[in-house]
Amino acid sequence: MSLRTRLLILVIAAMLVPASLVGLRFVQNRSSEINAALANLAASADDIASDLGEKIQGTAQLHYGLARARDLDTRDKAACSAFLSDVREEYPQFTGILTIDPDGSLFCDSLRTNRTLDLRDRAYFRQALVSRSVVVEPVFGRLTGTSVLQIAYPVRSEAGALKLVLLASFNLRKFAEYHHKRLLAEKDILLIDAKGTVLVAPSTAGWSAPVGASIAGSDLLRFATAPDQKAFQEVTDRDGRTQVWAVAHSPSIRDAGLYILVGRSKDGLVAAANRRLYEDMAILAVALLLLLAGVWILATVSVGRQVGRLANMAKRLGLGDLSARIPPPHPRGELGGLMTLLNGTAESLEQQRAAIADLNQKLSQSQKMEAMGQLTGGVAHDFNNLLTVILGNSEHLADRLAGNKELHRIAGDIATAAERGSDLTRSLLAFARKQPLRPRDIDISEKIQEMEQLLRRPLGEHIECTFALEPDVGLTSVDPGQLTTALLNLVLNARDVMPLGGRLTIEARNASLGESDLDVNGEPRPGDYVMVAVTDTGSGMTAEVASRAFEPFFTTKEVGKGTGLGLSMVYGFVRQSGGLVQMQSAPRQGSAVRLFFPRLATTPNEHPSPAEEIVAREGSETILVVEDNDMVRTYVESELKTLGYRVITAASGPAALDVLRQSGDIDLLFTDVVMPGGMFGPELARQAIQLRPGLKVLFTSGYSQNPVKAPDGIGDARILTKPFRRRDLAAMLRSALSTPSR
């Protein structure tokens, strides 16, 4: 299919909507014309009824005048008939004018027939006997046999006695013929009475009921006599021709029992509207053909070359060349707009490709950080168990070798090395977000004010330190000790990059982040936070160094001057607290590290005052030790026995529950937090409390993925972090055993 054909099809498709709207407008115009013709049909019926009403009113005026004529106040029948004959010649719309005696007999008439008639059976006569005004009834005249509208007027004496009834027979057939001509023979006129008798029939060949026939029971009669009239009625004859009828709404005419209907064939009614519709559609078709011809010529002469440029651009984009552009000049109108749009699309795609590459890099960084966190967390967990045994046994050796200075020193060195290893594992756990935290709802601004001297002390006089702490910052749930460590790490890093002096700013304020605000690993974490920022004017970092700054063991310092765990600890602590970290740095422009902690909408809780120092002493209670690591379990059992306690051991939670179900005194449950087999320490403690209410619980952990929550009945969760010294073990045991049960 050629380009011109495609463009032509496109133009045709584009013209379908306006052409359809124009066609719909033409159809609406046709409907409006048909509605106007129907309204004209109803107006014609009402106009005929109005004219007949005027004729009745005029006849009533004539009756009033004749009732006072002396020529009627006589018993000379011949003279009376001659007078009425003269009157009738002046009013040819009447077939006859006559007088009726009170007994119902005909006295005189304008036709001078000298006939004898008894009119007591006529409804208009019976009504005239009791009425004082004009009485109307449509009938067939007995003297003429023509359909007439009998207009009767009772003539009474001054005393009210009926003298005679004056009757004028209005010719309905001539009345209808007059209006038929006035309507230019386009409409049919039908007059019927209340019984459905045809008084005046249409002259068209399509009407089948003659004058005098009855249409009783027909839809047309029901339509004409219905009290709640419809506007129009369609009637189809035996030959399939459809007639549309409208009925006059004059109450006086309807009360007289006369119904005036005006009808027209449905084909004739819509013929003019259809003709106008066909003419309009023909004009529209011609206009569309001319437009298509013009488009064809335009496509052939001027569009082809421009579309070729567009096709070439599209081809280059299809091949992945996002640098492709359509050079100017661009034509005016839609093609020029399309070229501009295509250029803009290519530029946008190029930017999106760069953004996707950046996001992929950030995703890779995030996955790398997560993988490293899982690895370091697992290593730190196992390492802490080993350090617990090493530290404990080194203490035990130091006690036993107190008399041998050399061996005692070696045992001390082993303990010191184990403690340094513990510091290392704490750093790894901080990065992995698995360090045990003791969060409290605090005001960070107040906390930093308390730390001001501690933070200033390592800087030296060559560094200017400024605190910008916003008052009334929101509360955050943070471990105060870890917050202090994190800020000290940041301050020390800032000091190291400003050896010749500079300016350090510590800031705290409320902040709100959106979807575009990303963590250092590229994740959006929108929400309300309290921001703590440490900004320096030091040497700054390149983009490559900044992208790895939070990796554990990555450092730009000389060997022996840094482990590379400072920023990784800060990162892990903030993420474990539910927050995020951002960093901004550039060579020779300094660095800014921002820590965001989730802002709470609560008032500060009252924290208990620090517990008094508990003096470690020996005991005699029974302790159930639950530890899955054999070496740690053996070490703890040995230390507890050394401290005088009675010890029962179990390697898992289910095994510990079996022990608790047996009889015998157990004063305290000492359990690891994370254990294999599906039952962790908190769950074991919950079931143990149910088995033995009042049982004391002490947890121990090398790390915990989530904060430890103590079960109901034992108060706050007490955790002894691995590795621990004997004195720490003894002190925590006495603290747990001395705490009253809730």
Q: Would you state the pLDDT for residue 613?
A: 43
**427 and 563 Cβ atoms separated by less than 8 Å:** yes
Lowest mean pLDDT among 248-262, 401-415, 471-485, 702-716: 702-716
pLDDT 10s digits, 118-163: 888 888 899 999 988 899 999 998 878 899 999 999 999 888 889 8
- Contact of 614 with 731, CB cutoff 8 Å: yes
**What is the three-class DSSP state of 23?**
helix
d(CA 58, CA 518): 97
Q: For the chain, what percent of residues have pLDDT higher than 90?
A: 22
- For residue 383, the one-letter residue type is F
Residue 607 scores a pLDDT above 70: no
pLDDT reported for residue 561: 46
- Residues contacting residue 480 through CB under 8 Å, at least 6 positions apart: 440, 442, 447
pLDDT of residue 609: 41
Which range, of 290-294, 534-538, 613-617, averages the lowest pLDDT? Answer: 613-617
Q: Across the chain, what does the average pLDDT equal?
A: 81
DSSP label at 263?
Answer: E
Q: How confident is the model at residue 329 (pLDDT cuts 50, 70, 90)?
A: confident
* 299 pLDDT more than 80: no
pLDDT at 612: 39
Angle value at C-alpha 516, between 514 and 519, nearest 5 degrees: 90
pLDDT in tens, 652-661: 999 999 999 9
The pLDDT value recorded for residue 318 is 81
Give residue-wise pLDDT tens across range 672-710: 888 877 788 889 999 999 999 889 999 988 765 455 555
**Which helix H or strand E contains 654, and what residues bound it?**
helix 653-661
Higher pLDDT pick, 429 / 648: 648
CA 303 vs CA 3, 229, 338, 398, 529: distances in Å:
10, 63, 12, 96, 58
Residue 508's pLDDT is 93
How far is residue 69's CA from residue 76's CA, in Å, rounded to a whole number? 14
Sequential DSSP letters for 457-516? TTT-TTEEEEEEE-TTPPEEEE-HHHHHHHHHHHHHHHHHT-TT-EEEEEEEEEEEE-TT
Q: At what angle do helices 333-400 and 304-318 cross, to 10 degrees?
A: 10
- Checking if the pLDDT of 25 tops 60, the result is yes
Q: Which residues contact 179 (CB under 8 A, 6 or more apart)?
A: 48, 51, 189
Which has the higher per-residue pLDDT, 613 or 335?
A: 335
